[in-house]
Amino acid sequence: MIYLMSDIHGQYDRYVKMLEKISFNENDKLYVLGDAIDRGPDSLKTLLDIMERDNVEMFLGNHEHMMLTFLDGSDRESWFYGVNGGRITYEQFMSLDKGMQNKVVDYLLYHTTLKKDLNFDKVRYILSHTSAIDNGIDMYMKDYANDLMAIQDFIWNQGRFNIDSIPNLPNVEKETVFISGHIITRRLKDDDEIFAMSFHNNYSWIDIDCGCAMGSDEYGYLSTLAINDEGDIESIHYIR
């Protein structure tokens, strides 16, 4: 089974409960579509667990991007800006020994994904943290490790990468679905469940950031979308 999760935001307990709920095992594949860190209490614990799992592929989110640009000095402000919640992650990072710090940075720079295509007979899924880009090519952070600002617009869903650009894409024969996080679904609807929208050109968009960052018993979920071997969305799971 293929599982998609996004925007864990340091809510390690929810992350572990979700893995238990879906009975995640070595025969499954999990794509975490960015923002594993910040705002929640256990950012580094969450990230380190992801790093140790061979069948989990991590995407770089804007919060991991802020961490990297803070550490390399290209942006010393955004990560610590109030609502971004990077300070607790920074403190946890600095408590690691130097070797582990280097391992974390190396993982984010050279072992994370920016965009991935999953092609099935009837449907194509385009995965990223937040953006709409239909180039048919997988994108990896290692190709931008020496120029972090080159992906600023992509990682923040700006300019031509904005979700609003999807209706302007040319019609496609195969159903094509963008799946991303970044935008809390409650901003788009009246509840915290996954948001989906279809467009006239055979494209769709599914937003799986259900507000886990809030860390509340009454607001927000960690969601996981399950895709079977035929490419069908088989189930959706929620943990609060």
CA 229 from centroid of its chain's CA atoms: 22
State yes or no: pLDDT of 216 exceeds 80: no
Residues 148-162: tens digit of each pLDDT: 999 999 999 988 889
Which pLDDT value is given to residue 184? 95
Which pLDDT value is given to residue 240? 92
Q: Domains of the chain: which residue ranges?
A: 2-239
Mean pLDDT of 169-178: 96
State yes or no: pLDDT of 217 exceeds 80: no
Q: Are 193 and 185 in contact (CB under 8 A)?
A: yes
Q: Are 161 and 109 in contact (CB under 8 A)?
A: no
Which pLDDT value is given to residue 60? 98
Beta strands 123-128 and 175-180: pairing type? parallel
Long-range contacts of 188-197 (CB under 8 A, 24+ apart): 192/219, 192/220, 192/221, 193/221, 193/223, 193/236, 193/238, 194/223, 194/225, 194/236
Residues 74-125: tens digit of each pLDDT: 998 999 988 898 999 999 999 999 999 999 999 999 999 999 999 999 999 9
Fold of 2-239: Purple Acid Phosphatase; chain A, domain 2 (3.60.21)
